[in-house]
Structure 1
Amino acid sequence: MNTNSLKSWLPTVSISLASFIFVTSEFIPVGLLPEISAGLGKSEAFTGLLMTIYAWIVATMSLPMTVVSSHWDRRRLMLILLGTFVVANLASGLAASFGMLLVCRIIVAFAHAVFWSIAIPLAIRLGPAGGRAKALSIIAMGASLGNILGIPLGTFLGQSFGWRMAFSLIALVAFVIYVILYRMLPSLPSQSITTFKNVPSLFKRKSLVLVYLMTALTVTGHFTAFTYIKPFLLAVGGISTDFVVVLLLVFGASGVFGSILGSKIIYKHPKNALWISLGIVFSSLLLMTLAVHSQIWLMALAFVWGTALTLLCLIFQSAVLKEAPDVQDVAMSLYSGIFNIGIGGGALLGSISSTNHIGSVGYVGAIFVLASLMLSAKFQISELKHTEGAVGH
């Protein structure tokens, strides 16, 4: 099969579109935290717990739900997940209370818990043989577009027409993607039946455990600051809400750049890419308070920060696939769960830090990224460049 054939990549692209809308929905509260809290009569710190609860539902349910659904046809499973996603986001747009919104978010989180466990292995399986790196880049591009288009646009609509409009629009776009998936995805029987017996063996693989630990620390540090980026910009820098949208757009654009760059460098220079990217994220968190008084410096900081974070996600995902080629669904479900432990933990730490002093969120987050940077010296990642190869359909 011709790897460069556009038609051969369409099924993988359709999974990328689904990743776009899942990312948009997951992080839309970041851009609309003040609006949601005001609309529901809650404090921003309390409303931020929507992120924590969502993330920890994903973290705790990723593995068990992946195991339960491991024998399902992949096409059927993906359509069920996205259909549930559509209904729950539509209901979010109609939520009249914090409790109702929380229930809707929990339902979305259950769908999310399985989606990221199967999306990357499925995208690789659907793509042409030998296209692992390109498939990863395509999925990363979809997720990045969620940041560059979905979150800023949702934030703008929420600020202009109310936060409920943002959730309603997410539901509408998700329905369109559902139709595309319905038409594009072939029937794909499960390649293996996953059981909990596979899990203990993963924790005997030292390199894999180290990837999981670095992921948890890095993501916790990032989301300690990023969850409260809008309150931080408004309170510390006196930034206008319009510029917040611009900054989120820049951050998202950096993700697209990072996904393109990552497909070219992480297999050639994985160690250097890991260390440099961790160093950039660490420095970015430290520099938030200094950069907040200059829009130019903020945009530059957002771009390099987002690029480095995207590279880290690609490196971690590639390492997980390399270290567990025999049980990719289980390994990726654990990765997704651990990633979301980091999101939830970061949102909780950000909530505590913002209650005491909103300006401290970057410094608190930097501590965790520094710990990840120190651990990275022990990780043998030089063989990532050898993971490229044929992946069966």
Structure 2
Amino acid sequence: MNPPELTTLLPTAQAPSADRLPLGGLLALATAAFITIMTEALPAGLLPQMSHDLGVSQAWIGQLVTMYAIGSLLAAIPLTVATRGWRRRPLLLIAIGGFALVNSVTALSENYWLTLVARLFAGVFAGLLWALLAGYASRMVAPHLQGRAIAVAMLGAPLALSLGVPAGTFLGTVVGWRLSFAVMTGLTLVLLGWVRWQVPDFPGQSAEKRLPVKQVFVLPGVTAVLFVTFTYVLAHNILYTYIAPFVVSAGLTAQIDQVLLVFGLAALVSIWVTGLLIDRRLRSLVLASFALFVLAAVALLLNASSAATVYGAVTLWGLAYGGVPTLLQTALAKAAGDSADTAQSMLVTVWNLGIAGGGVAGGMLLESLGVMSFSWAVLGLMLLGLWVVFNARQQGFPVRH
């Protein structure tokens, strides 16, 4: 995400309006985020079907999420650094177009290992796309609208979780998981035309503003935000990647899509509240997010066999998670200043390290200790992250005076 200072890179002819949001372009970015999250998360809702069709265990299907994360983990920083001087829209189109390719391969593949390779490249394109989105949104508006613009661009993520993944899960259950990925390809092709029509082009970052990656990493507050990002995403993905076997253990076998829908709707409420308060209450919102996730984990520990408890905990979890991407990106942009683009690529890397770790750790916990171990893991990680946020009073998550 670019800080306000980077808007000076805009030529005068491309200066954004001071009074309104360019919703056509921002919603195109939100759709790109939607496709990215859908591509990432669909295997979580389709574990049983994909496991049966590809002839591997559900734990191995979980590694499709892991491989996606590894691709982003490996690509985000080097690709972002290598393309800092490129014009933004052609680069954005390349990243989006990659999803049409990899989702087509996934839909057609009969071989688990080919599907795994496709997921790796999906992660590569995702790493590049996530490094672009927040900064793109901030450059499309005047400085005083940047927080709202980023919230609109990030709206695609909770929409994917609330509507897209449940719909894709339902579609995959009724007519086969391959059609879900084929629909994603069609949506991506439409998006390419939308971006070309509605999203403006911007120059890349000038050479004099490019700090080395190591210098950006040690800027005050950057490390704290990245550490908090890792703990939160790791905890989230331990639970989300293996949500299907978790709800089955609670007797909700036929309600996986409904559980995901409740989570996503709560996430939508969360991002709406975040958009309203982020400029004034960033630290408070981050603390509240961790606290809600802790409450959800405690509820699941106390009575995970109750359907009412599961739905209540998932609601708390969704409220906790929905605004987190925007909150952490904003905190990192404030800490990194002019080096926000490079810091954003670090966040993408750490985020996907958390996704990959969640897939691996969740699979190990599932195979060795069972689904009830997820709640203990989530609780421990949340308390650790909450401690870091609480102590990052000066830099990272500063107290507003």
Return the TM-score normalized by structure 2.
0.90
- Cα gap change, 1:382 to 1:215, in 2 (>3 Å): closer
Match of 1:257 among 252, 264, 269: 269
Distance 1:255 1:349, change over 3 A: same
Q: Identify unmatched segments of 5+ residues in structure 1.
A: 387-393
Q: Kindly tell me: are residues 195 and 350 of structure 1, through their superposed partners in 2, closer, same or farther at Cα, counting changes over 3 Å?
A: farther
Equivalent residues in 2 for 1:71-90, closer than 5 Å: 71-90=85-104
1:157 to 2:165 alignment = no
Cα contact 1:35–1:159 (8 A) shared by 2: yes
For 1:301, which of 296, 302, 313 is the aligned residue? 313
Q: Paired residue for 2:328?
A: 316
2:219 equivalent to 1:205: yes
Residue of structure 2 in register with 1:66 after alignment: 80
**Structure 1 residue 359: deviation in Å?**
2.1
- Provide the C-alpha distance between the structure 2 equivalents of 1:35 and 1:285, rounded to a whole number of angstroms: 28
The answer to whether the aligner puts 1:268 opposite 2:280 as a matched pair is yes
Moved over 6 A (4+): none
Amino acid in structure 2 at the alignment position of 1:28: L
Residue 355 (structure 1) aligns with: 367
The alpha-carbon deviation at position 164 of structure 1 amounts to 0.9
Contact 1:255 1:307 in 2 (8 A): yes
8 Å Cα contact 1:322-1:384 kept in structure 2? no
Which residue of 1 is the match for residue 299 of structure 2? Answer: 287
> Structure 2: how far apart are the matches of 1:77 and 1:340?
21
Structure 2: 5+ residue stretches without partners: 1-15
Q: How does 1:336-355 map to 2 (within 5 A)?
A: 336-355=348-367
1:383 Cα deviation from its structure 2 partner: 5.1
Larger displacement relative to structure 2 (346-355 or 257-266): 257-266
Q: Name the residue aligned to 1:329.
A: 341
Q: Verify the 8 A CA contact 1:270 1:384 in the aligned structure 2.
A: no
Q: 1:182 is aligned with what amino acid?
A: R
Per-residue CA deviation, residues 161-180 of structure 1 (Å, 9 max, x unaligned), is 11111111111111111111
**Cα distance between partner residues in 2 of 1:247 and 1:68:** 41
Structure 1 residues 303 and 110, CA gap change in structure 2 (3 angstroms):
same
TM-aligned CA distance change 1:71 to 1:48, over 3 Å: same
Match of 2:392 among 340, 364, 379: 379
Relative to structure 1, the CA distance from residue 95 to residue 384 in structure 2 (aligned partners, 3 Å threshold; closer, same or farther) is farther
Counterparts of 2:166 and 2:298 in 1: how far apart (Å)?
A: 24
Q: 2:179 corresponds to which letter in structure 1?
A: M
Confirm or deny: 8 A CA contact 2:293 2:317 kept in the other structure. Answer: yes
Q: How many residues align?
A: 383
On the 8 A contact 1:63/1:337 being kept in 2, the answer is: yes
Looking at structure 1, the residues matched to 397 and 40 of structure 2 have their Cα atoms a distance apart, in angstroms, of 33
Distance 1:67 1:218, change over 3 A: same
Q: Provide the rounded CA distance (Å) in 2 between the counterparts of 1:223 and 1:293.
A: 21
**CA-to-partner distance for each residue in 1:255-286, whole Å, 9 max, x for gaps?**
21111100222332333222221121122123
What amino acid is aligned across from residue 342 of structure 1 in structure 2?
Answer: G
**2:147 is equivalent to residue 133 of structure 1:** yes
2:241 to 215, 223, 227: 227
Which residue of structure 1 lines up, in the alignment, with residue 138 of structure 2?
A: 124
Identify if the C-alpha distance between structure 1 residues 378 and 148 changes in structure 2 by more than 3 Å, giving closer, same or farther: same
Q: What percentage of residue pairs aligned between the two structures are identical? A: 27
Distance 1:312 1:254 in 2: 13
Structure 2 CA distance for partners of 1:384 and 1:179, relative to 1, 3 Å: farther
CA apart distance, 1:140 = 2.3
| 3-state SS in 2 of match to 1:103 | helix
**What is the CA distance between 1:238 and its match in structure 2?**
1.6
- Cross-structure match for 2:59: 45
Partner in structure 2 of residue 238 of structure 1: 251
CA distance in 2 between counterparts of 1:87 and 1:194 reads 36
In 2, the alpha carbon distance for the partners of 1:9 and 1:163 equals 32
Residue 9 of structure 2 aligns with which residue?
none
Question: Retained in 1: the 8 A contact 2:389–2:397?
Answer: no
Deviation at 1:48, TM superposition (A): 0.9
1:23 corresponds to 2:37:
yes
Distance 1:245 1:4, change over 3 A: farther
How many Å separate the matches in 2 of 1:83 and 1:324? 30
Give deviations 1:76-110, integer Å, cap 9, x for gaps: 01111111111110111001010111111112111
The residue number in structure 2 matching 1:389 is none
Distance in 1 between residues matched to 2:58 and 2:208, nearest whole Å: 40
- 1:108 corresponds in structure 2 to 122
Local SS of the residue matching 2:279: coil
Q: Residues 10 and 187 of structure 1: is their aligned pair in 2 closer, same or farther, counting only changes over 3 Å?
A: same
**Whole-Å Cα distance in 2 between the matches of residues 2 and 373 of structure 1?**
38
CA distance in 1, matches of 2:311, 2:373: 20
Could you tell me which residue of structure 1 aligns to residue 3 of structure 2?
none
- Of residues 183, 187, 193, the one that matches 1:173 is 187
Displacement of 1:292 after TM fit?
A: 3.8
Letter in 1 for 2:125: A
Shift of 1:192: 2.8
Q: Secondary structure at the match of 1:366?
A: helix
Displacement of 1:63 after TM fit? 0.3
Displacement of 1:298: 2.6
Q: 1:32 to 1:227 in 2, by over 3 A?
A: same
- Are the equivalent residues in 2 in contact too, given 1:57–1:110 (CA < 8 A)? yes
